[in-house]
Amino acid sequence: MAKRVTAYRFTKSFKKQYSRLPKEIQKAFDKKLELFLRDMSHPSLRVKRIQGTRDRWEASITMKYRFTFQFSGDTVIFRAIGTHEIIT
């Protein structure tokens, strides 16, 4: 897993889910995104592979909220954002 992200994009569903989040969670994600782009292995992100997948990952925004992503070449694709139920 790369430490520093150089290219990324958001899926259409991610953008839709993000727009429905409470404003304080959007702000928290924005801060976590900055951290993720600098150092995706930062302990506060708690990045881990999603169980049962080969190429999907999750990271924490708060103890309740997560975002998922995957790599496509050198690009990180943000797939989903929401409560922990988005993982299942």
pLDDT tens digits for range 4-55: 677 999 999 999 999 999 999 999 999 999 999 999 999 999 999 999 999 9
Q: Which residues of 44-57 are buried (b: 16+ CB within 10 A; e: fewer)?
A: ebebeebeeeeebb
pLDDT of res. 1: 55
Euclidean distance between CA atoms 56 and 49, whole angstroms? 6
CB distance 65 to 81 below 8 Å: yes
What average pLDDT score do residues 67-80 get? 94
pTM score over 0.85: yes
Residues 28, 12, 40, 6: is their CA dihedral positive or negative? negative
Euclidean distance between CA atoms 54 and 15, whole angstroms? 24
